[in-house]
Amino acid sequence: MRQLQVVKIGTDSVFHDGLVDYRVLSNLGYNLAKLTIEQNTDSVLVVSGAIRLGMRKNGLKEKPTNSVELQSCARDGQPALMETYEKGLFVGYKKYAAGNGTIARLLTPQYLVTYHNLEDLAEMRNIAANIRYDLSAMKLPLINYNDGVDPTEVKMDNDNLAARIAKALIADRLVIMTDVDGLFENFSDAGNRRLVKNVNEVNDYVRSLAEEKGDGTGKMGTKLDAADLLLKENIPTIIGNVNYGLIRLIEEEQIRTIFTK
């Protein structure tokens, strides 16, 4: 029986100093191809970075503060975002195929959704059905918020988008790939810092660990929200460093944080 996972990769994990890290995308592509062929695992990829690419296209160094400019950047950057991911991932797919004597094939259908879609049961079911159809054809769906259309989307996070998609698909897991190893105790004290490897409840203490890192309303805080949503659905969430690679994050318990009952 095939497994289904949702993988979310953060903007800061792919874009460094305004440039695309194609090494990260190639490695991700290789891992996704290997999981598809060798471990019977289908994947859905939640991506971001349209605004970042739109800023570059418009010669902007500072992120706009008003929604009109942000939406404009998102519209300008979204086509480039899809092209960037398809190009980078395909390098990894080709590398895997070359090592196994097969022909690389990668089709990446694009899904741009809004909170209206996610909160309407009929629309969400339709999105899930279409994703499953694309997966049955061995495609890799790429999902992002439709920032360029809905002004509320530019302030939303993709961690919760990924969790909602995982819930709608009844996925086997969500993997959030980021630039930290996971959730830490004593994060501010390097000598006593400890990676929390297993979490079975997102309680006040767990949330305090995100606040200790200084990003309780942003990076780790939104990841905890996503994990909390999926814990209620008995869907595990893994948070780990993109540099370890997707397969290692799934298989090696010592290098990441997993939220599961």
Please tell me the distance from the alpha carbon of residue 204 to that of residue 233, in angstroms, as a whole number: 20
Please tell me the distance from the alpha carbon of residue 180 to that of residue 244, in angstroms, as a whole number: 10
How do the residues of the chain divide into helix, strand and coil, expressed in percent and rounded to 5?
Answer: 50, 20, 30
- Predicted confidence (pLDDT) per residue in 77-127, tens digit: 999 999 999 999 999 999 999 998 888 899 999 999 988 898 999 999 999
Please tell me the distance from the alpha carbon of residue 185 to that of residue 32, in angstroms, as a whole number: 31
pLDDT at 214: 45
- CATH superfamily, domain at 174-261: Acetylglutamate kinase-like (3.40.1160.10)
pLDDT at 213: 55
- Residue 41: strand pairing partners: 3
pLDDT at 218: 44
Opening angle at CA 95, ends 93 and 97, nearest 5 = 70
pLDDT at 191: 84
Low-confidence ranges of the chain (pLDDT < 50): 214-218
- Start and end residues for every CATH 3.40.1160.10 domain found in the chain: 1-26+41-171, 174-261
Helix ranges (H only) for the chain are: 11-14, 22-38, 50-57, 67-100, 115-119, 121-136, 158-169, 204-212, 219-231, 246-251
Q: Which two tokens stand for residue 199?
A: 């979490």
Please tell me the distance from the alpha carbon of residue 55 to that of residue 60, in angstroms, as a whole number: 5
pLDDT at 153: 59
Q: Which two tokens stand for residue 244?
A: 């370890």
| pTM summary value | 0.94
1-26+41-171 belongs to CATH 3.40.1160.10 = yes
- Predicted confidence (pLDDT) per residue in 223-248, tens digit: 999 999 999 999 999 999 999 999 99
- Torsions phi, psi of 52, nearest 5? -60, -45
Q: Which residues contact 82 (CB under 8 A, 6 or more apart)?
A: 108, 110, 142
